[in-house]
A and B are shown apart, each in its own frame.
Chain A
Amino acid sequence: MTKQKSSARFRFSGVMLFLALFFFLVPALQAGDYRLYMLAAGVPCAMLLCCTILARAFSLDRLILALSLFFCSVGIASLAMTAPDTALVQAVSCGIGIIVLIVGAILIRSLSGSLLTAISAAFLGLLLLAAKLIAPTFTLPATQPALTLLLIAFAVLLSREGPISAAGLGIAAAVLLMLRGETADALIWGLTILLLLFAADGRLLVVLPSLAAFALLFYGMYSMQTQTLVYPEALSADTLKAVGVLGADLLPEGLAVPETGSLFSRLLGHYGLVFTGLTVLLYLPLILRGTTVASCARMRFHAILAMGICLLLGLSTLASVLSFFGFLPFTGLEMPLLTTSLPSLCAHLFLAGILCGISGRNDSDLAEDAHLAMLAK
């Protein structure tokens, strides 16, 4: 490890831990709430443990892990000021999510891109999506876990069986998402797999029919659901003025009420426009790192999967921000890793874990090559 590399890493980790500490310590000083003191002690310690011991033990990519942990801590901090109990629950959810992240990192190293993997992941993913249609009483928010499984199946099929079967699976998933009324997720999923098809195959013979099929599908469903698609109420100038650059302890009028509001709106209300904007910008290094991991991967399955994860996370972030400010006719979209839903949080952390695992595999491959070169000397 070079001095320069360790310097950047240690500075980043130090700043992140410092930030995580003061996220909870400042509100704790106001109320003297023991729960906030617990969070102020526990969250930085957990982050330190993950960034050092776990990252080394499981050969995880430290930047992706650190950024994922930072987003988790921001999510907890946005709840801490007004809902300490919910913040504690969110902290526990993040702990579960970190375990899922490690499972994802281990799993992807041992998972071969076999047909059995594709079939089982596709079956589970489609079943989760169809469950709500089959049994309307099924209310578990399973969209993100299903998309995760379907992305794995899609990557296996695209790398192993070719684009036709992969496009078929993608269109089937998009149809199910549209039938569930989750147009935004269907749109993000459709764009992701179209871009992956174009990147992996590049033949117009494959891409154009897929594009036409998706266009027809979306046009049909859009014309059917025009009544239900409503542009969210754009944030008024008064609300933005109340939020201001720095935010406030109490959420201003116009933002969602604390108990039901999304983490993004809480973050905006409590910490202001500038900090929220910088937090959103921190998704960029995460996605950039993911694309680097994808470009360095040795296996086509890993490369397609890593690129798919980057696309899925990037497009979800963009769609959430645009819909929050009223530029897209969707409501209820949440930022990746900034969500109170445990299945969604686990799914996003599982995706981050897959990126970490592929990165670790790339590093071990490179180390093996270096060993071979050393043998050759």
Chain B
Amino acid sequence: MFSVSPEIYSVLSQASRWIFIFLALMLLFLAFSWHHTDRKERRDRFKNLPGAGTVGELVVLSGSDELPVDTWFPVPREGVLGSLRSCDLVIPCPGVSSHHLDFSWQDGTGLLIRPRVGCEVLIDGVPVTRRGMDMPLVHGSVLQIGSAVLRLQLFAALSHTNRTFIPLQPAVGSFSDPMPQPVPIPVQYPQEPVNAQPVFCPPPYQESVPLQIPVEPPMPVQPVPQPPAPEQLPVQEGSPLAPAAPRRKRADRWKEDWSE
């Protein structure tokens, strides 16, 4: 095979070693640059998709001094709910353990709840056991942990993809009046999924049956002004839906939630 004389090779070898160093330096710089560019692009995409990675929101119906009514949390697909700051959903209320429950979204079923050992949870007034996979949180379900009462509102767009959303029938002797089933009506989807009101909102939370397990008696529930259910909406040609109740911006709420 082709080879060069030793004199030429020695020059070539020395030169190539310097070139290798230069190229390795370039590789290092370009690798960091590539990584930085990708991160920046991903951050920009997240800015345009503020609800990315979440399935809905939990609205506080009854909380504590640290958790005022009408606060809402974006719900990720999986995580831990508890009173510790390291949890994915932080509920600083009496009766809520540091790590109270694990939750995970399952396509076609809903938000599965798994309470930790010794922790008690009510979904629509029904106690959930650790194996209670048969009663997931669906749109409009009310979750009670300790003295906190939260309602889940799912993004309407979830019913449009392969993540087919099949809400279950409400349990017998439920916590409140039977929730209206989400109606998969063709709706005007919000511009930004997170910041918009879900299209089919259940009626306001009503405390019709006394709670069974609270550590402290729950705070009196302040009904949140909600638009009426879709079937009750006055349908008028060319007129928009009834305006939703004014809500604080998400950034403000997070600032409060994470102020410590």
Residues of A within 8 A of B (CB): 2, 4-5, 8-9, 11-12, 15-16, 18-19, 22-23, 26, 28-34, 37, 63, 67, 70, 159, 162, 201-203, 246-247, 249, 271-272, 274-275, 278-279, 281-282, 284-285, 288-289, 292, 296, 298-300, 365-366, 368-373, 375-377
Contacts and interface: CB of A to CB of B under 8 A. Distances in A.
B13 A9 contact: no
B1 A372 contact: no
Interface of B: 1-4, 6, 9, 12-14, 16-21, 23-28, 30-35, 37-39, 41-42, 45, 48-49, 51-53, 76-79, 84, 86, 98-99, 116, 155, 157-158, 160-161, 189-193, 196
A376 B192 CA distance: 8
B53 A375 contact: no
A292 B16 contact: no
A15 B49 contact: no
B24 A19 contact: yes
Q: Interface SS of chain B: helix, strand, loop or mixed?
A: helix
A370 B78 CA distance: 20
24 contacts: A2-B41, A8-B33, A9-B34, A15-B30, A19-B20, A19-B23, A26-B16, A29-B2, A29-B4, A30-B6, A30-B13, A32-B1, A37-B1, A63-B34, A63-B35, A162-B116, A201-B99, A203-B98, A271-B17, A275-B17, A278-B21, A284-B32, A373-B157, A375-B189
B18 A246 contact: yes
Contacts of B52: 365-366, 369
B182 to A, nearest CB: 16
Contacts of A271: 17, 20
Contacts of A370: 45, 48-49
Contacts of B24: 19, 275, 278-279, 282
B1 A203 contact: no
B34 A29 contact: no
Contacts of B12: 26, 29
Contacts of B30: 8, 11-12, 15
B85 to A, nearest CB: 9
Given A29-B3, A278-B28, A373 B49 contact: yes
Given A2-B37, A247-B17, A298-B76, 18 more contacts: A5-B37, A19-B27, A22-B19, A23-B20, A26-B12, A26-B16, A29-B4, A30-B4, A30-B6, A32-B3, A33-B1, A246-B18, A271-B20, A282-B28, A282-B31, A372-B160, A373-B157, A376-B191
Nearest to B79: A300
A246 B28 contact: no
Given A67-B31, A289-B35, A369-B53, A272 B76 contact: no
A371 B161 contact: yes
A372 B42 contact: no
A376 B193 contact: yes
Contact of A29 (B9, B17, B41, B77): B9
Given A202-B84, A282-B31, A370-B49, A8 B99 contact: no
A278 B25 CA distance: 7
Nearest to A23: B20
Contacts of A288: 35
Contacts of A9: 34
Contacts of A299: 77-78
A299 B32 CA distance: 26
Contact of A63 (B13, B31, B99, B158): B31
Contacts of B26: 11, 15
Nearest to B39: A292
A375 B25 contact: no
Nearest to A373: B49
Most A-side CB within 10 Å, residue of B14, B21, B41, B84: B21
Closest 5 CB pairs of A and B: A376-B189, A32-B3, A285-B31, A278-B24, A32-B1
Contacts of B98: 203
B161 A31 contact: no
A68 B223 CA distance: 57
Contact of A372 (B21, B35, B157, B191): B157
A88 to B, nearest CB: 15
Contacts of A67: 31
A16 B1 contact: no
Contacts of A159: 78
B249 to A, nearest CB: 19
B26 to A, nearest CB: 5
A281 B35 CA distance: 14
B27 to A, nearest CB: 5
A298 B193 contact: no
Nearest to A286: B31
Nearest to B26: A15
Nearest to A162: B116
B77 A298 contact: yes
Nearest to B3: A32
A10 B135 CA distance: 51
B20 to A, nearest CB: 5
A281 B41 CA distance: 24
A203 to B, nearest CB: 7
A26 B34 contact: no
Contacts of A5: 34, 37-38, 41
